[in-house]
Structure 1
Amino acid sequence: MVMKAKLTGIDLINYKADTRRSLFSNMWKFRALYVIAIPGILYFIIFKYFPLAGSVIAFQNYNIFKGFTGSEWVGLEHFRTMFQYQDFGRILSNTILLGLYDLLFAFPAPILLALLLNELRLVFYKRFLQTVVYMPHFLSWVIVSGIALGILSPGTGIVNQVLQTFGFEPIYFLGENSYIRTILISSGIWRDSGYGTIIYLAALAGINPDLYEAAEVDGAGRWKQTLAITLPSLIPTIMILFLLHIGRFLDLGFERVWVFLNALNTGNGEILDTYIYKAGLLSQQYSYTTAVGLFKSVVGLILVLIGNILSKKTTGESLY
């Protein structure tokens, strides 16, 4: 029994040594790829992981002159203040609703657009449309808000001109709470849905054409081919992007919302990001707004973990 245990231990040591040698040999074999990856790794370490240490100020009364080590520790006081703030519920509900609308309407938009573009058979026309729908992504949100303001203007906007043609009174869309969420989601779809088709079009290009030929022989039309072949083939890509999307569920983006906000639509338009800006940078409540940001990040992490588990059980696809 002792000899068997010793042999097992020796075998284990040899196995670990072989694994280590295999790892180093593979790293040396693909050294060019590892060298190319170094800038990306450094980027994430410097700009993503290293700043995580700043989250400690959420548990302090941070003083910029005393730094992390000299500031007073207050524990969960800022988190209690956050939940006791009278407008926090409204701001959180705005963020959740906008995130939900973005998930329901903005997330499927690139998928539908990619399917439509994939059905085009005229190559020149297809490439022209791809270029047209990609272009808005490269516009800043300031320009997008200016375009929206011009279109929705109560005096000169084309939407109100059409309404007046049919006998309706002009509407100040950006001055009413009831329209701001629709404007935010619609502008996001217009700006980013075309750019989001890139990954889906690449996934569509990887589908084996023999599957479509076999379906045509069986008498399946384009609609049935889409349901039976195209969509199932896109499921892995859709699930991965869906999991990445729900990780940003509460992170709609500061600039995207800020450029549309005014005193008349803040009730339904203000989100956590804009609140953090006003309380943190304008009012200099650094510790408090760090606590709000940390809360938002923890919620995103929990959603990703839950979504990953559900995705693995239902579709077999997951992030890890």
Structure 2
Amino acid sequence: MQNEITIVTAFYNIGRTTRGNDQYLSYFDFWSGLKNYVVIYTTEDMKELILEKRKQHHLEGKTTIIVKELNEFDFQTLNKIKETFKNYNQALHRKNPNNIECISPLYCYLMYLKPFFICDAIERGIVSENIMWLDFGFNHGDSFFINKDQFRFLLEKQENIINDKINFFSIKDQEANTIPEIYYNMEPFLIGGLIYGSNRAWSSFKKNLYECMQCFLSFNIVDDDQIMFLWCTRNYPQNYNIVRCYEWFDSLFNFIPKEIKNTILFKRKNSQYYKLIKEEIKNKKNINLYNKSRLYFKYFYYKFINKKYIEL
């Protein structure tokens, strides 16, 4: 298991009205056939239901489920978050005041805990050197990838991923706005659903994120993970690698084996295909003239001729 990517995820029912246990179990069901070792943090009542999803693929031997209460991870910070929500209106002047991060202290705390889950798994000695955080509800069923029967492979690190840093994935080339501006406009730069790094990188990330949360709390504000990740990259850039992607869930392409990547079915909503080809050209360093010319031909074709093409 040493060279394999271990996936860590978590599911806790925090009282969301729009998505219940069954909804999240169906989300997890989509990717539960991945052949990587998976560590899942949850509550006692969900343990067997989650394990059953892995058993359907005969992967119970590559699954560890840990029952641990949320307040056991960082009790003091949880209390500070609750107190801040109680004393200060986190929805005030924000673009989407009804979003869960504006009204639920437990949700913000859960998002903050991502590196805490992973560092707990590291301390238990149940993960490999290479660790991916993957949201329990990643892909939201078939929001991007559309055929769960294809999710029967082993995730592998591709060439643009840096092992000794935390790898974040972004839907923008860059972000010039200040942290307060992003807090109010609620237009995040980084994606929180997939994060990758080595043991040491996750340990540093946990320390950075803890510092970030204390900073936010000192200003009487709380938010979910994405804006705090940006704070970490700006204050400790040496610890992070930001990889460009174009949809909320296409970050997974950075870990799908090449022979599978060419056949997997997905639907694209917000990005244009020629931009992906441009990114491929930029990332391919050792490529022969024939293949490079082929990529450039595709780039010009989809940018200037077939502009309506939006799906692979």
Shared fold per TM-score greater than 0.5: no
Higher helix content, 1 or 2: 1
Higher strand content, 1 or 2: 2
TM-score range, shorter chain: under 0.3
Larger radius of gyration: 1
